[in-house]
Chains A and B, each alone.
Chain A
């Protein structure tokens, strides 16, 4: 799951300002990776694929004290990808915490309204809970037991969404200070 979000996370980090690969890795590790740092190889391989697909542009090599550095800049195409990813609520299912967390942090870092995403996600979750609740009416007790497990998981996500929403202002200040 983490692997799937690395390209979009790099685009999100690049939206506010262009950056070097090394800087991107540092920001990813400190604000998103949370104990799971990105290997350098993956950073440059991902940036290479994003450049090939026209999502970022690569500047000329800049000589410096250390190894040569290249500045990466997001393209309109890349911004559109990031926007589309942010706007699309995640399919409500258990074990979402990584993606939910990434969406909130990346939205705030990019200066976008995380509230809109949280609202959409809450609605998607409640919709799924409505379906599960309705399915329980005609279900065997065993099937209801499974549905209940999913319902409690989704409810836990929703509690996290509520709490995050209540802390959005403080979170924004912490991330952008």
Chain B
């Protein structure tokens, strides 16, 4: 194992679970990240905000090992994740991370229950315990009655809660959510966020949410702004006049 990074947070208490250090990432001529630094403490719920095209989703993808940065370092639990090969990164995502995206991205051919059970099946869990765990999660998110429905038969809010159950069923250390309420009305979005935050608190899950919605960010402990591929803290220190 490589030496863990020195602290990037003012607290410096060594509880950082995720760290991005001087991350650069471009897509062709387009610079998405230009020296982004971020650190997320274990158990923290962090909102990443910023205008469209600021690089906030790319930052999430780099932290989550979906995209390797062009340069810079990403760390998870004391391990350099940017240096892992594809297989190791896939393994990390499957075992330690959960994901919820703007549009649930459920597999349409599968029932809600099968969708939730899918990550467990991919991790080698047998079908019966996987489906049992899926049922428990669906019940926990108030979806006891819809386990047998396919995604086309679910409302937007139900589909998003199914996606949330799927993101949490493996009991990940970190849940990454990209605009998790983006396609929902206010009330349904609020219900999804309540479930997300409740589950994260109960399970001790660290949550990183990308959102441009202040009402979603208000569920987080802390927010950061991404601008032009860099991260600035949400609460700047003003110079004393």
Q: Is the CB of A119 within 8 A of B215?
A: no
Of the stretches B73-81, B166-174, B218-226, the one at the interface is B218-226
Task: Classify the interface of chain B: helix, strand, loop or mixed.
Answer: loop
Determine if B235 and A151 form an interchain contact, defined as CB atoms under 8 angstroms apart. no
A48 to chain B, nearest CB (A): 25
Question: Do residues B218 and A130 form an inter-chain contact, with CB atoms below 8 A?
Answer: yes
Q: Which of A116, A130, A132, A165 contacts B236 (CB 8 A)?
A: A116
CA distance A116 to B218 in the complex (A): 21
Give A122 to B235 CA distance when docked, in angstroms: 8
Give CA–CA (A123, B235) in the complex, Å. Answer: 5
A-B pair number, CB within 8 angstroms: 53
> 1/0 contact trace for B75-101 toward A, CB 8 Å?
000000000000000000000000000
Determine whether the beta carbon of B51 is less than 8 Å from that of A129. Answer: no
Q: What band does the interface of chain B fall in when counting residues whose beta carbon is under 8 Å from A?
A: 10 to 19
Mark out the residues of chain A between 99 and 148 whose CB falls within 8 Å of any chain B CB in the assembled complex. 116, 119-120, 122-123, 125-127, 129-130, 132-133
User: Contact at A126–B239, with CB atoms within 8 Å?
Assistant: no
Number of interface residues of A (CB under 8 A): 25
**B241 engages A80 (CB within 8 Å):** yes
Q: Is the interface of A mostly helix, strand, loop or mixed?
A: helix
Among B212, B213, B214, which residue has its beta carbon within 8 angstroms of that of A154? B214
Interface of B toward A, CB cutoff 8 Å: 51, 212-215, 217-220, 223, 225, 232, 234-236, 238-241
A binding-site residues for B, Cβ under 8 Å: 80, 83-84, 87, 116, 119-120, 122-123, 125-127, 129-130, 132-133, 151-152, 154-155, 158-159, 162, 165-166
Q: List 30 A-B contacts (CB under 8 A).
A: A80-B241, A83-B241, A87-B238, A87-B239, A87-B241, A116-B236, A119-B225, A119-B232, A119-B236, A120-B235, A120-B236, A123-B223, A123-B234, A126-B214, A126-B234, A129-B214, A129-B215, A129-B218, A130-B218, A130-B219, A130-B220, A133-B215, A133-B219, A151-B218, A155-B213, A155-B214, A155-B215, A158-B214, A162-B212, A166-B51
